[in-house]
Amino acid sequence: MSIFITGSTGYIGSYVATGLLREHRDRLALLVRAKDEADAKQRLWKSLQMHMGFAEFRELIESRVEIVLGDITDPQLGLAAPQWDRLIANTDSIIHIAASLNRKSSKACFNVNLRGSLEVLKLARAVQSANGLRRFSDVSTTAVAGTRAGETVFEDSAIDWSRSDYDPYARTKKFAEHMLHELLPDVSCAVFRPSIVLGDSRVAETTQFDMVRAFVMLARLPVLPFRPEWRLDIVPADYVARGIVAVHQKPIIEHGCYHLSSGTASLTYREIVSSLRLHGRGMRHVFVPRLHSPFSRAVSSAADSPRHWGVAPAASLLKVFLPYLCFDTVFDNSRIVSVLGERPAGFSAYASRLLDFAVDNKLSYPYRPWPVVNEATHKDARVAISA
């Protein structure tokens, strides 16, 4: 029996798959959108190489992983009837991570976050009917809480259907949670809501640069149009993945939803910029909150500027994330802290390393190509490891 996972080639998915492969003995069935198995392995190597070397990757892929070629937006995930039936028979639990984070596209969010999630839920329903499903874990977002200002939000009161949503991503993820509860009322389900996921508390490297790009842009601004006491609920990816893996593998879960966040320990803007300056990476920022409205208009104009000016990409991302940078709202994390026994590392502990890596590598990750492997040597190594 296997844990079926969507989104393993994505940022959070790579952390979750690595955690399960290293810390548990379950087999994983990874849904990968690829033309063939060789292409799928290439995609998985690109996703997992930040976490492991090629030798470990290849051993784990060959011994513990089944690649399922498919697409969550296709009926029955694009699988032929025999493959679909086999997947149902061999699935013990499901972790649904795949999502469109394109906050500017209602179409992309609708297709992936709603239509795609529905196909995964149909699989879960079929597994539950055939053999029983141990657990369904859904990776959502704290953005489902909608428009907020100066609050501490708890899991059970986060969704308020009378509130407006900031963007299509938040709206579709909120409804995906609703579908989960409606379609799997008899299954042990865990919903995970990460806050702003930014970097890794252990290493400088990252492969996800959307929010990092906005962070670098803000770090370079001498004047910040925010109140220095506003809090930013930033959580490192390694803590998020640890929480997902730990809860998913628990025999019995105490709650149906967990915020993966920094909660009331979230840092203020003043604390973040002071930390950067302490590590020699920050300038002396001046906070001028009255500039917030004109700054928002300037960001919108820059986002619509000609591409050859070079400011549109960063401005577009900043425009999307700006509401989440200004609402001074944090998400209580006492539930996941109880499970893991510790709080996440504060952003100030690793922000300067992340900034150095992003700037030095020009907001990209130095991916390594698929190595040329001596098959005879590799076979001998496998025999030695198994012995």
Distance of CA 102 to the CA centre of its chain: 13
Of residues 369 and 285, more confidence is placed in 369
- Domains annotated on the chain, with CATH: 2-386 (3.40.50.720)
How confident is the prediction for the chain on average, in pLDDT?
92
pLDDT exceeds 90 at position 351: yes
Residue 279 has pLDDT above 80, yes or no: no
The pTM of this model reads: 0.93
Q: What is the mean pLDDT of residues 58-75?
A: 96
Q: What is the pLDDT averaged over residues 23-51? A: 97
Q: How far does Cα 231 stand from its chain's mean position?
A: 21
Residue 382 has pLDDT above 50, yes or no: no
307 to each of 298, 304, 315, how far by Cα in Å?
16, 8, 11
Residue by residue, DSSP assigns 44-106 as HHHHHTTTS-HHHHHHHHHHHEEEEE--TTSGGGG--HHHHHHHHHHEEEEEE------TT-H
Mean pLDDT computed over 86-106:
93
Could you give the CA distance from residue 37 to residue 354 in angstroms, rounded to a whole number?
34
Residue 381 pLDDT > 60, yes or no? no
Residue tagged 């001074």 (tokens): 328
Segment 371-379 shows an average pLDDT of: 63
pLDDT tens digits, residue range 153-194? 999 999 999 999 999 999 999 999 999 999 999 999 999 999
Are the C-beta atoms of residues 91 and 127 closer than 8 Å to each other?
A: yes
Predicted confidence (pLDDT) at residue 129 exceeds the cutoff of 60: yes
Q: Residue 377 to residues 45, 174, 346, 372: CA-CA distances in angstroms?
A: 20, 50, 44, 12
Residue 74 has pLDDT above 80, yes or no: yes
**What's the pLDDT band for 386 if we cut at 50, 70, 90?**
very low
By three-state DSSP, how is residue 214 classified? helix
pLDDT (0 to 100) of residue 377: 53
Burial class (CB in 10 A: 0-12, 13-18, 19+), 294: exposed
Torsion (CA) 299, 304, 305, 306 in degrees, nearest 10: 150
Asked if 43 and 361 touch (Cβ cutoff 8 Å), the reply is no
Angle, helices 351-360 vs 210-219, to 10°: value is 100
pLDDT digits (tens, 9 = 90+) for 77-91: 999 999 999 999 999
